[in-house]
Every structure is written in C-alpha cells, then in structure tokens.
Amino acid sequence: MSGVTDGHAQPSEVRGAPLTALLVGTGGGIAKSADAPRRNGPAVVVTTDGATILFDTGRNVLDGLFRVGIEPASITHLVFTHYHSDHTVGLPDLVLSTWVATGRSRWRIFGPPGARHLWHGLFGETGAFRPDIDARVQGAHSRQLFFQRLGMPLVPPDADIIEIPSDGFVVDEPGWRLEASFAPDHVQPHLISVAYRVTTPAGSVVVTGDTGPSEAIARFARGADLLVHDCTIPSRDGTYERGGIHTDPEGLGRVAAAAGVKAVVGTHVTPARDRPEVLDRYPELVARSFAGTFRMAVDGLAISVSPDGLRLEAPGRLGRVAEPGAHRRGEGAP
C-alpha cells in the first residue's frame, strides 16, 4: 500500500485476470415505490484477480450481492464514496448477517473521513448494535449454538479502517491498483464524496458515487474503459437541479466525452424518475456530446473489461456492448 501518486500508473504486477463491474444496486434516495420495487440502493462490485471490491452498501445490498452471485463473505475490500444514508443503510445487514452466517468478523474498509465514526457508531463498544453482538458472543446458549454450527465461537465484528486523506491515495496490490479522487461535487463540506479508479492489466473502471458534472472527474477518468457515474436528474432545470449535487444525462455526456472513456453507465435512479418516459430520453441526451457506448444501469448489469473490448451482460440478456452510436439506433439501455 502506498500514498499519493502522479497520474494513473499501471499495477505493480501484470496478470491476465478479467476486470468486471457488477451493478448490485442502481437506485438512489430512500423512498421506494411499493408497486415497483425495481432497484436496490447504491452498490457496485468490481472484481479482479484476488479482489472483490464493494463500493457502498445501499438498501438491500445483501440480497443484491446474492442475486449477482457474490458471496458477501468473499468481499475483500469495502469502499465508501460518501456517507449519505442511502449509500450506507445496508451496512449493518451486510456485516451482522455475514457474521452470524459465516463467523466472518473482520473487514477492510476505505472511505473519506467518517468511516471510523460510522463503524464504531454501529458496532463499537457503545454502538447501536452492541447489545445484539454481546448477546451472541457472551450468551451461554448462543455460544454453544455458534460453536456447533461454525466450529468456533463468535468474536465481535471489527474492521481495519483507512480514512483516505487526499487525492491520489492508492491501494497497490499484485495485479491491481485503487486510486481516489476528491473531485466529486456533492454536498461539501457536510459530506465529502470520493470517486475511485480500479486499474489492472485488463483495463480500468471508474466509480463516482454521487456528484454533479465535473471537469475534475473527467480528468480523473481520462482514458478509462468504463465510467460508472451519477445520472440522477433529467435536466438542470429548477433550483435543486441547478446545483452540483447530481448529474443530468447531457452533463454526463460531456464528462464522458472529455474523459475519452469507451463506455459510460448512468446510475443512482431515484423512484420519482424511474419511469420509461423519463429514462428513455437519456441515451439521446447523452449522445449530444458523447459518441461512445452508453447504458442506463439496471440492477444485475455486469460489464467485463478486457484488452479485446467490453462485454455487457444484463439480467436475461448477454452480448457485447454495442459499438459507438448504437444507442441511437434503438439498441439503448436494457
């Protein structure tokens, strides 16, 4: 592990492992329509050789991981973009359910300042879930049950937590590298939002979390194969939407074009905008600036990156990502 770096260096060891982004949850906000529960809260898994990296723990993240074939206990790195509740509300379920089911007690967590406060407020000695934890660890009957089931007693959940100090912070592991950027413009200074870039010999993926359109994000994502980016609002009309809190499809197209990425996926769809008459216009709006491949995310969308290109797999549908401009021929978001 190292500190600040210049640019986007290649990983320290070259390997041929595939690089895949799995959209576990593509919704945003807390409200959820009872008659159309289509999207889990924000969560993206990036997998490569020896690493399963989970970005954010939105609503229903545990169920979402199972649905895309990821065992929660296999997550090697848990990374937060920021601490709005719709990006963190699934953390207690993820940690406690995995702990009870498998005995996993230790996590490796990265995020902007606030990660320790979040963890200890939930699972620390005076945390909200500490009575539950103590009952399972210290209760004689519970100890016996868990020893019979797992072959070992439970120990309280704990975490190795690294709060990212600045742009350029890097996790440098054999075969892959993680870089961070404080470029996202969300609700600073109340909640700092961070974007991340995973680079491997197979390619690179950038995940933004929540952000308005940003030239700094475009610079950070320059040359990436895939950009997974906030695309929450249909336009920048109105008082709320003129701010830098979220991105519209036209703004996303400009960011993607400036970054020169091969493909961009828009995500963070709030229930009020999760309607065909709204989302069906997004490919056209993105295409005003960006000639590459665009998809509006759905839960379960998977994109594999390799030197041979990108491959997209949506629920019930498999195929190569369309060539640039295909979204304009009616081959848009699944």
**Is residue 158 predicted with pLDDT exceeding 60?**
yes
Q: How many residues does the chain have?
A: 334
* Percent of the chain topping pLDDT 90: 64
What pLDDT, on a 0 to 100 scale, did the predictor assign at position 190? 66
- How far apart are the C-alpha atoms of 232 and 99, rounded to whole Å? 34
What pLDDT, on a 0 to 100 scale, did the predictor assign at position 169? 81
Q: What's the distance, CA 210 to chain centroid?
A: 10
What pLDDT, on a 0 to 100 scale, did the predictor assign at position 47? 96
What is the DSSP code string of 142-172? HHHHHHHHHSS-----EEEEEE--STT-EEE
Residue that has been written with the tokens 């990821």 in this structure = 70
Strand partners, 263: 226, 293
Query: What mean pLDDT do residues 99-117 have?
Result: 96
pTM for this predicted structure: 0.88
Query: What mean pLDDT do residues 108-135 have?
Result: 97
What pLDDT, on a 0 to 100 scale, did the predictor assign at position 244? 67
- What does the DSSP 8-state code read for residue 70? -
What pLDDT, on a 0 to 100 scale, did the predictor assign at position 221? 97
What pLDDT, on a 0 to 100 scale, did the predictor assign at position 29? 82
Residue 181's SS3 state is strand
**Is residue 226 predicted with pLDDT exceeding 60?**
yes
- What does the DSSP 8-state code read for residue 10? P
Q: Order the strands of the 263-267 sheet from edge to edge.
A: 170-173, 176-181, 195-200, 203-207, 226-230, 263-267, 293-296
Query: What mean pLDDT do residues 73-86 have?
Result: 96
What pLDDT, on a 0 to 100 scale, did the predictor assign at position 233? 86
Q: Which of 60-74, 106-120, 212-226, 265-279 has the lowest mean pLDDT?
A: 265-279
**Is residue 331 predicted with pLDDT exceeding 60?**
no
**Mean pLDDT score of the chain, rounded to an integer?**
86
Q: How confident is the model at residue 287 (pLDDT cuts 50, 70, 90)?
A: very high
Q: Is 29 or 266 the better-scoring residue by pLDDT? A: 266
Burial of 70 (0-12, 13-18, 19+ CB in 10 A): middle
For the stretch 36-73, pLDDT in tens is 557 899 999 999 988 999 999 999 999 999 999 999 99
**What backbone phi and psi angles, to 5 degrees, belong to 143?**
-60, -40
Query: What mean pLDDT do residues 209-218 have?
Result: 90
Query: What mean pLDDT do residues 271-280 have?
Result: 88
- What does the DSSP 8-state code read for residue 316? T
Q: Is 197 or 28 the better-scoring residue by pLDDT? A: 197
- In angstroms, the Cα distances linking 237 to 115, 130, 233, 247 are 34, 45, 9, 12
What pLDDT, on a 0 to 100 scale, did the predictor assign at position 157? 97
For the stretch 261-270, pLDDT in tens is 999 999 999 8
**Is residue 216 predicted with pLDDT exceeding 70?**
yes
For the stretch 294-326, pLDDT in tens is 999 999 999 999 988 899 887 754 344 333 333
What pLDDT, on a 0 to 100 scale, did the predictor assign at position 328? 34
What pLDDT, on a 0 to 100 scale, did the predictor assign at position 243? 59
**Is residue 108 predicted with pLDDT exceeding 70?**
yes
What pLDDT, on a 0 to 100 scale, did the predictor assign at position 327? 38
